Amino acid sequence: MRELTKIVLSEQDMPTHWYNINADLPVAGIELPPPLHPGTKQPIGPADLAPLFPMALIMQEVSADRYIEIPDEVQQIYTLWRPSPLYRAHRWEQALDTPARIYYKYEGGSPAGSHKPNTAVPQAYYNKQEGVTRLSTETGAGQWGSALAFACQMFGIECKVYMVKVSYQQKPYRRALMQTWGATVIPSPSDQTNAGRSILAARPDSPGSLGIAISEAVEEAATRDDTKYALGSVLNHVLLHQTVIGQETIKQLELFGADWPDVVIACAGGGSNFGGLAFPFVRENIVGGKQARIVAVEPAAAPSLTRGVYAYDFGDTAGMAPLVKMHTLGSAFVPAPIHAGGLRYHGMSAQVSALKDAGLIEAVALKQTKIFDAALSFTKSEGILPAPEAAHAICQAMQEALACKESGEAKTIVFNLSGHGHFDLGAYENYMAGSLSDYEFPEAEMQESLAHLPQVA
């Protein structure tokens, strides 16, 4: 009997609710530290967040309800790409000569080419419901900016994107995609905000960072009555929306007849696709007695989970965003211009950080050339060209599979292929030409950045 290669659920089998891990953290003895006001350093309330977010999202941010219903209008747009397929990587298993069984959830079939519309669409929906006509945001590699531009187009909302300058230069076609959906795209740091002008005055050649771009987008939202801010990762409500990924994956593994995973893997920059895949599996570890290893994979150039400190820090460079307790490299961190632009953030989701601090998830950091090695191995067998961000998960899955080859164990490995790399061909071209180099964040620069952490009593 021929073995199945993929499982695609019907629209009727799509999740009807998002899963909120906050409901189950207390079972694991985890109390999530509250975000703090950047000025007073006191716990923030809904009124403090109202200038930036619609109230529905604020309520989701602080909710302890285990499941939150997905609105029908959001579900209808989701059906443009959801449910997404789960593949068994038969050919790659054969190429690696491993007894491991490798499954990957492919999120690259969305209009924007990644998992990001899973949260962009509900964020645009809730803003539209509250009468918001304009959204500002930041983007690194451009995947989040593309997703929000698409979502704003769906709901007739104006969209302005501050794109990290080095990515603006590296990925012109991602920028063009945002513009086709009507978004205005500005290289950050820019001269359009006080935050941008301040950075340029100190360093005119700044390559930009997600922290800087967040500062610019937050400033624009906070100073305009017609504009609110949208974030593509890090915050609780963003990771909440992504849990459709993990919920679908669990159902698809059951239909495959697969064993419960030994290892669940996703790349991690701010935490959105990692949380989206991992949180439903973490729930089963916490309340269902399961024992899957959950592994977050980050770049060695931005190693917040593996080398950062667990402390309160600003979510942006200018110190306008709330203080969040997270694994951080310091909000002054300016990353090297590696090609995984979506992973070049100084901090990590509070939820992911708390799980790491409690030992419920693991984290590893990988170098750039190693992840491109793995990406080519994968695409030569499976045919899908992964984004550099997703290639981090592929690389870790490859290492786990090769370890199984050595041990003879037939482990079940599941990873999230969070987006395609069609807009990253310049990076692949550089890699194949031998012009990509590895970079690890120097300890001295890290300590300098961490020296500026805010003092919280």
Q: From CA 396, how far away is CA 198, in angstroms rounded?
A: 39
Q: From CA 195, how far away is CA 229, in angstroms rounded?
A: 16
Percent of the chain surpassing pLDDT 70: 98
pTM across the whole model:
0.95
pLDDT in tens, 248-293: 999 999 999 999 999 999 999 999 999 999 999 999 999 999 999 9
Q: What is the pLDDT of residue 445?
A: 85
- What is the residue type of 330? G
Taking CA atoms, 346 is separated from 4, 94, 302, 363, in Å, by: 41, 38, 7, 15
Query: Does the structure show a pLDDT above 60 at 1?
Result: no
Computed over every residue of the chain, the mean pLDDT equals 94
Q: What is the pLDDT of residue 79?
A: 98
The top-level CATH class assigned to 6-14+71-113+237-450 is: alpha beta
> Across residues 181-186, what is the average pLDDT?
97
The full 3-state SS of 10-55, as one line of letters, equals CHHHCCCEEECHHHCHHHHCCCCCCCECCCCCCECCHHHHCCCCCH
In the chain, what are the domain boundaries?
A: 6-14+71-113+237-450
Query: Does the structure show a pLDDT above 70 at 338?
Result: no
Query: Does the structure show a pLDDT above 90 at 331?
Result: no
pLDDT in tens, 108-150: 999 999 999 999 999 999 999 999 999 999 998 889 999 999 9
> Across residues 350-364, what is the average pLDDT?
97
Q: What is the pLDDT of residue 120?
A: 98
Q: From CA 37, how far away is CA 349, in angstroms rounded?
A: 17
What does the DSSP assignment read for 352-382?
Answer: HHHHHHTTSSEEEEE-HHHHHHHHHHHHHHH
Q: Which two tokens stand for residue 234?
A: 């890090």
Residue of 310 and 331 predicted with greater confidence: 310
Query: Does the structure show a pLDDT above 70 at 387?
Result: yes
Confidence bin at 340 (pLDDT 50/70/90) = low
The helix or strand, by DSSP H or E, that contains position 387, with its residue range, turns out to be: none
Q: What is the pLDDT of residue 337?
A: 67
> Across residues 376-400, what is the average pLDDT?
97
